[in-house]
Amino acid sequence: MSIFVWFVAAFKLGMPVAGMSWLMFNWLYGAGQLSRNAGHKAIREQLGQIKKSHKTNKARSGNYLYRQWLMFGGGFYGLAVLWTLLSIEVGELISFLFNFDLQELMADGFIAMLLNFIAAQVNNIVTAAVWFAYWPEGDQPILPWVLMAYAGYVLGIHLAREQQTLHKVSDLIPKKRFPFRKKLSGTHHDSHTKGSEVSPGVAPDALDNGTDDGGADSDRHRDG
């Protein structure tokens, strides 16, 4: 088995899955739907509960990628399907834009064009569902692609668990380098809430007690 196959699998599938895994689990950790101390077995169980809750929720909260991920089953398999589907559709969109021909597109009428579009979408979903057969080229083995995809999925979970949670898109812009980010995240709100933030591992009661003790100490000094 050539090392080149592993490299290509890591570049085309492993790295993108890692990035999407990091993004999805950042959202889940930030929303408090997953515990950062949960192991992989607990994560699978919690994702199953989240999926059931999402099905019964008529509002279907969450952004498009998150909803699609849960629709495809969530977890590792759902993420691999989602990335494969996005790759197929983006490739088709680029090809469509570069080879756009309205006359040929409408040759059989609008209804036929619409039916062809729906058939193409269904075909793309079916192809993405067997992503492990889509990515290998020629006689390449499937194993490197599956292992690289799963390694990327696990790496994304680890990075999301260890790093600071991404609550919203504006968190991607550092405050120190870009002062206008304060407007995006709400400077007025931050200025009033910054003093009440609790550092990880420090209980709010401990902070309250520390404040009260400090005030008592200052009163004793004045009395003295």
Percent of the chain with pLDDT over 70: 64
Four-residue CA torsion sign, 157, 159, 163, 167: negative
For the segment 41-62, the average pLDDT, to the nearest whole number, is 74
Burial label for 207, CB within 10 Å (0-12, 13-18, 19+), is middle
> Minimum mean pLDDT among 101-115, 117-131, 142-156, 167-181: which range?
167-181
**pLDDT tens figures, 14-33:** 999 999 999 999 888 888 88
Site of tokens 């979408």: 121
Does residue 48 have a pLDDT over 50? yes
pTM of the model as a whole = 0.65
End-to-end Cα, the chain, rounded Å: 82
- Cβ atoms of 155 and 18 within 8 Å: the answer is yes
Least confident of 4-18, 23-37, 172-186: 172-186
